[in-house]
Amino acid sequence: METLHTVTEQHAHATAHGHDGGHHHTETFISKYIFSLDHKTIGKQFLITGMVWAVIGGLFSVLFRIQLGWPDETFPFLERMFGAWYTDGKLNPEAYYSLITMHGTIMVFFVLTASLSGTFANVLIPLQLGARDMASPLMNALSYWFFVISGIIMFSSLFLPTGAASAGWTIYPPLSALPQTSPGSGDGMTLWLISMVLFVVSTLLGGLNYVSTILNMRTKGMSLFKMPLTVWALFFTAIIGILSFPVLVSGVVLLIFDRTLGTSFYLSHIVIGGVPQPYAGGSPILFQHLFWFLGHPEVYIVILPAMGMVSEILAVHARKPIFGYKAMIFSILGITILGFIVWAHHMFMAGINPFLGSVFTFFTLLIAIPSAVKVFNWITTIWKGNLHITAPFLFAVGFVSMFISGGLTGIWLGNSTIDIQLHDTYFVVAHFHIVMGIAAFFGMFAGIYHWFPRMFGRMMNTNLAYIHFAITFIGSYLIFWPMHFQGLAGVPRRYYTNNNFEIFAVFNGMNKVISIAAIIVFLAQLLFLVNFFWSIFKGKKSSQNPWNANTLEWTSPVEGIHGNWHGDIPEVHRWAYDYSRPGNESDFIPQNFPLTEKEKTEADH
Amino acid sequence: MSLSVTYNKTKFGNQGAQRFTMWMAIVSIMMTFGGFTSAFIVRKGAGGAWSSFTMPSIFNVSTLMILLSSMSLIVAHISNKKGNKIMTAVGLFTTTFLGILFCAFQVTGWSQLTNQGIYLSYNPNPAGPFFYVITAFHALHVICGLLFMIVATTRSLFKLRQPTSTEIITELENTEKGRFAIRTDLLSMYWHFMGLLWLYLFIFLSLNLNH
């Protein structure tokens, strides 16, 4: 039965694809590059759109870091550039709150969710699994265009006279629910909510497609446990998205009703300017539950794709099999499951039952176990490896470093008692920026440097990449390491200025250092962008398999054709990590190489 | 045997994957309503202002409508497999009609509720608004399904018979008929799910509206 299956299957392939390989579609510029249904093009669209967003989000952080570093100075040139956000050369407090809100929203959702998953799931899932395209190319394209529309709406909110949303990226009511509470809670907040609903549609369309493709479209021989770890990570990422984003929709819909129709889902006992408001019976904590039921899994949506790519990249560039392949998979699974039952650790100080707090502390600390398994496996993978110190390798190692540094402080913050001192301080800012912000960016950079040849058929400039790495790595620690000390001393996050607290005057110099480092790191990213766009057109031509990697995407033609392979799709005979196999003449054996006689006999025993 | 092959491995996209995608979409819709109903329970359980009212009586009728519509859809499905084009069209038409009736009765139910003095807007109490939002969000999903149901009904009048399962094996995706079969297949899954989802919401709300 099984054999018959495969024979018919191959036959179906041959007939269906023999035709396809040599066929050239007459495509216009618009159908090829703009409204494309090809997963590789959609991946590139996600990537470049994400870069635009990352520059905007990064620029915002520079603006508010300038305010925090030099709260007493005036900057007339910034006022000339940004107009209404500044008064007398100083950033307005309202604009400051809009900037931190938009920085968080843009970075978490648009860059590290949509662009990171969108780029690599699109480029890698079909290519690494041996599929012609996604299960539904149309849904895939729709996912991108919903992302674009949602982005346009978010971007347009920046130009409102009342400013963009300013209640923080977590948009807690009542601040976000009542326009009277702050200028940004007016039209800016409305656009934020509309944009996010469309964003969720985009994420779901993409996620459904990724899961369906992974489970249904694998080439012959690609059993689940032969899949590269990138695909495993993207698989669980998509599942988390499918389960958690709909709950955000419920929360946001109720918030929209509170804002527009005067309902009281989240509002109770509110007095604004001495006037009691008519709302009763609502609960702001309810919103926090609904928000963090998405919000916490969201951080794994951000970090898992980076983890998967780092696993793959470390093995390729250390020329060693990944250590603990199955342990890696089950630790991702463990993180996925635990990630859904820890959301209230964001709410320890929000007035939840302290007993509930200790339950959530317990589950939160459990996540340290699968995370530590992964870190151990990464380190063991490069241990005594034949290290090729390339740009993707450096960024992957940078990822591991950031993940360890940020993960350790997570153990502090996961304790509900320590959180009494540390919540809402710069300690939290330092923790989550290192562990999910910078780490995910490092994973993304590693992925871009590694798969750039597959995406664009050319190599990126290595020396620029080394400079980019050195500045980003050192700079990131310079920005966030000092924040731990500020947080331990109690410096609150989100404040426009700390001038009114004399005890925090000791941090004035430190704030300047952080801000200078932030500006330098931001400029270093422009260097990366120059390298990226220059290399698309002028980079050195890539060979078929520039890193000597095993996975299937390196067997597909460099120029990237519609349908991915001329003729038949390669079959898979082995896992993705046969590097430096003793007795083999080359130090890698691609997945589509049949087992040797010796291996077959070994497998039999 | 060859059924599963052509089913699962056609050129771009395939039916197995599309059915699976619909299952995943159903799971994500379940999560949305799971979010709503758990918000309802958590808020009610926390104490505080909570007005009591009874389910509008017309909702019993609308529940009957959506369950009947699932049955007529099954009739359409079986007739289609047998190649009975008239019964297929009749079945799809009845389903659409019952779906529209369901929505109409929901609207009637909301007006019954406003007559009781339970409002959605400017109601300083979350119980009524919860009821409106949850039922309206479900109705919105039904309306989306109805749009596709109307398309399917219209097509069934012109395209007449869809392929039998043997034809699906050989021709799927390559023929107009095959594509139609897949679409109605996915639509059936969605529609039956809407019925079950309503049944859940109906029972949930009946049990939990009052103290």
CB contacts, 8 Å: B141 with chain A: none
Closest alpha carbon within chain B to A277: B124
What values do phi and psi take at A271, rounded to 5? Answer: -125, 120
In sequence order, which residues have a C-beta less than 8 Å from that of residue B190 and are 6 or more positions away? B22, B25, B26, B145, B148
CB contacts, 8 Å: A244 with chain B: 31
Q: What pLDDT, on the 0 to 100 scale, is given for residue A481?
A: 97
Structural domain range at position A246:
35-596
Mutate to test the interface with A, among B5, B18, B189 (most CBs of A within 10 A): B5
CB contacts, 8 Å: B35 with chain A: 246-247, 249-251, 290, 293
Q: How far is A238 from chain B (nearest CA, A)?
A: 11
Q: What pLDDT, on the 0 to 100 scale, is given for residue A3?
A: 38
Closest alpha carbon within chain B to A285: B43
pLDDT level of residue A417 (50, 70, 90 thresholds): very high
Arithmetic mean of pLDDT over chain A: 91
User: In this complex, is the C-beta atom of B1 within 8 Å of any C-beta atom belonging to chain A?
Assistant: yes
Matching residue, tokens 């360890």: A404
- In a domain, residue A60? The reply is yes
In angstroms, the CA A272 to CA A178 distance is: 10
In angstroms, the CA B188 to CA B186 distance is: 5
Q: What pLDDT, on the 0 to 100 scale, is given for residue B5?
A: 33
Q: What pLDDT, on the 0 to 100 scale, is given for residue B126?
A: 87
Average pLDDT over residues A562-577: 91
Mutate to test the interface with A, among B6, B8, B9 (most CBs of A within 10 A): B9
In angstroms, the CA A230 to CA A549 distance is: 13
B20 vs A40, more confident: A40
CB contacts, 8 Å: B130 with chain A: 265
In angstroms, the CA A338 to CA A371 distance is: 11
Question: CA nearest A219: which of A133, A123, A126, A130?
Answer: A130
- Between chains, do A264 and B50 touch, taking CB under 8 Å as contact? no
pLDDT digits (tens, 9 = 90+) for A353-380: 889 999 999 999 999 999 999 999 999 9
- In a domain, residue A128? The reply is yes
pLDDT digits (tens, 9 = 90+) for A161-204: 999 999 999 999 999 999 888 899 999 999 999 999 999 999 99
Cβ proximity of B98 and A233 under 8 Å: no
Q: How many domains is chain A built from?
A: 1
* DSSP three-state, residue B139: helix
CB contacts, 8 Å: A208 with chain B: 21, 24-25, 28
- Between chains, do A16 and B126 touch, taking CB under 8 Å as contact? no
- Cα radius of gyration (chain A): 25
Q: What pLDDT, on the 0 to 100 scale, is given for residue B211?
A: 65
CB contacts, 8 Å: B27 with chain A: 242-243
- Between chains, do A242 and B8 touch, taking CB under 8 Å as contact? no
Arithmetic mean of pLDDT over chain B: 82
E strands in A257-402: 271-272, 275-276
Answer yes or no: is pLDDT of B11 > 70.
no
pLDDT digits (tens, 9 = 90+) for A388-408: 999 999 999 999 999 999 999
pLDDT digits (tens, 9 = 90+) for A61-70: 999 999 999 9
Question: CA nearest B109: which of B131, B140, B141?
Answer: B131
Q: How far is B28 from chain A (nearest CA, A)?
A: 6
Q: How far is A268 from chain B (nearest CA, A)?
A: 9
Question: CA nearest A569: which of A2, A1, A6, A4?
Answer: A6
Query: Where are the domains positioned within chain B?
Result: 2-6+15-41+58-208
Q: What pLDDT, on the 0 to 100 scale, is given for residue A510?
A: 96
A143 vs B184, more confident: A143
Answer yes or no: is pLDDT of B49 > 60.
yes
Answer yes or no: is pLDDT of B170 > 70.
no
Sign of CA dihedral A12, A13, A15, A17: positive
Q: What pLDDT, on the 0 to 100 scale, is given for residue B12?
A: 39
User: In this complex, is the C-beta atom of B36 within 8 Å of any C-beta atom belonging to chain A?
Assistant: yes
DSSP string, A310-322: HHHHHHHHHTSPP
Does residue A161 have a cis bond before it (omega within 30 degrees)? no
In B, residues 182-211, which contact A (CB 8 Å cutoff)?
none
- In a domain, residue A135? The reply is yes
- In a domain, residue A348? The reply is yes
Cβ-based burial of B169 (10 A; exposed 0-12, middle 13-18, buried ≥19)? middle
pLDDT level of residue B181 (50, 70, 90 thresholds): low
The minimal CB distance from B48 to the residues A212, A281, A293 is found for A281
Q: What pLDDT, on the 0 to 100 scale, is given for residue B209?
A: 85
pLDDT digits (tens, 9 = 90+) for A205-239: 999 999 999 998 899 999 999 999 999 999 999 99
CATH number at residue A263: 1.20.210.10
In sequence order, which residues have a C-beta less than 8 Å from that of residue A387 and are 6 or more positions away? A317, A318, A319, A393
Residue A172 corresponds to which tokens in the numbers above?
């807690």
What values do phi and psi take at A207, rounded to 5? Answer: -65, -45
Question: CA nearest A221: which of A379, A394, A56, A5?
Answer: A5
- In a domain, residue A17? The reply is no
- In a domain, residue A160? The reply is yes
Q: How far is A341 from chain B (nearest CA, A)?
A: 14
- In a domain, residue A601? The reply is no
pLDDT level of residue A281 (50, 70, 90 thresholds): confident
User: In this complex, is the C-beta atom of B11 within 8 Å of any C-beta atom belonging to chain A?
Assistant: yes
The minimal CB distance from B124 to the residues A133, A217, A280 is found for A280
CB contacts, 8 Å: A277 with chain B: none
CB contacts, 8 Å: B8 with chain A: 216
Q: What pLDDT, on the 0 to 100 scale, is given for residue A18?
A: 39
CA angle A443, A448, A451 (to 5 degrees): 115
In sequence order, which residues have a C-beta less than 8 Å from that of residue A370 and are 6 or more positions away? A330, A331, A332, A334, A335, A338
- Between chains, do A246 and B49 touch, taking CB under 8 Å as contact? no
DSSP string, A28-56: -HIIIIIS---HHHHHHHHHHHHHHHHHH
In angstroms, the CA B39 to CA A250 distance is: 9
A4 vs A422, more confident: A422
- Between chains, do B39 and A250 touch, taking CB under 8 Å as contact? yes
In angstroms, the CA A246 to CA A14 distance is: 41
Matching residue, tokens 């970075």: A107
The minimal CB distance from B20 to the residues A4, A215, A244 is found for A215
Q: What pLDDT, on the 0 to 100 scale, is given for residue B14?
A: 58
pLDDT level of residue B54 (50, 70, 90 thresholds): confident
> H or E element: which one contains A86?
strand A86-87
Q: How far is B156 from chain A (nearest CA, A)?
A: 24
Answer yes or no: is pLDDT of B206 > 70.
yes
Q: Of the given ranges (A3-12, A348-357, A417-426), which has the lowest mean pLDDT? A: A3-12
- Between chains, do A283 and B125 touch, taking CB under 8 Å as contact? no
Residue A85 corresponds to which tokens in the numbers above?
């956000």
Percent of chain A predicted with pLDDT > 90: 81
In sequence order, which residues have a C-beta less than 8 Å from that of residue A423 and are 6 or more positions away? A348, A349, A413
Residue A481 corresponds to which tokens in the numbers above?
């390491």
The minimal CB distance from B126 to the residues A134, A212, A282 is found for A282
Average pLDDT over residues A450-461: 95
Closest alpha carbon within chain B to A21: B11
- Between chains, do B35 and A246 touch, taking CB under 8 Å as contact? yes
Q: How far is B103 from chain A (nearest CA, A)?
A: 20
Question: CA nearest A440: which of A476, A416, A409, A468?
Answer: A476
pLDDT level of residue A605 (50, 70, 90 thresholds): low
CB contacts, 8 Å: B182 with chain A: none
Between A and B, how many residue pairs show a Cβ–Cβ distance under 8 A?
Answer: 154
- Between chains, do B39 and A286 touch, taking CB under 8 Å as contact? yes
- Between chains, do B43 and A264 touch, taking CB under 8 Å as contact? no
CB contacts, 8 Å: A213 with chain B: 17
Question: CA nearest A336: which of A370, A377, A359, A375?
Answer: A370
Percent of chain A predicted with pLDDT > 70: 95
Mutate to test the interface with B, among A15, A39, A247 (most CBs of B within 10 A): A247
CB contacts, 8 Å: A13 with chain B: 9
pLDDT level of residue A328 (50, 70, 90 thresholds): very high
Q: What pLDDT, on the 0 to 100 scale, is given for residue A346?
A: 94
Answer yes or no: is pLDDT of B161 > 80.
no
In sequence order, which residues have a C-beta less than 8 Å from that of residue B168 and are 6 or more positions away? B3, B7, B15, B178, B181
Mutate to test the interface with B, among A254, A256, A259 (most CBs of B within 10 A): A254
Question: CA nearest B159: which of B82, B97, B80?
Answer: B80
Cβ proximity of A52 and A110 under 8 Å: no
Q: How far is A382 from chain B (nearest CA, A)?
A: 37
User: In this complex, is the C-beta atom of B21 within 8 Å of any C-beta atom belonging to chain A?
Assistant: yes
- Between chains, do A261 and B122 touch, taking CB under 8 Å as contact? yes
Answer yes or no: is pLDDT of B172 > 80.
no
pLDDT digits (tens, 9 = 90+) for A11-25: 444 434 433 444 445
In angstroms, the CA A311 to CA B66 distance is: 50
- Between chains, do A132 and B28 touch, taking CB under 8 Å as contact? no
Answer yes or no: is pLDDT of A303 > 70.
yes
Matching residue, tokens 């494309």: A36
In angstroms, the CA B72 to CA B61 distance is: 16
Cβ proximity of A482 and A424 under 8 Å: no
pLDDT level of residue B84 (50, 70, 90 thresholds): confident
- In a domain, residue A50? The reply is yes
CATH number of the B2-6+15-41+58-208 domain: 1.20.120.80
Q: pTM to 2 decimals? A: 0.90
Report the length, in residues, of chain A. 605
Average pLDDT over residues A501-510: 93
In B, residues 106-145, which contact A (CB 8 Å cutoff)?
120-127, 129-130, 133, 137
In angstroms, the CA B206 to CA B200 distance is: 10
Beta A86-87 vs A90-91: how paired, if at all? antiparallel
The minimal CB distance from B10 to the residues A4, A16, A254 is found for A16
The minimal CB distance from B121 to the residues A208, A243, A261 is found for A261
DSSP string, B69-105: HHHHHHHHHHHHHHT-HHHHHHHHHHHHHHHHHHHHH
CB contacts, 8 Å: B28 with chain A: 204, 208, 242-243, 245-246
Q: What pLDDT, on the 0 to 100 scale, is given for residue A220?
A: 92
The minimal CB distance from A286 to the residues B31, B43, B120 is found for B43
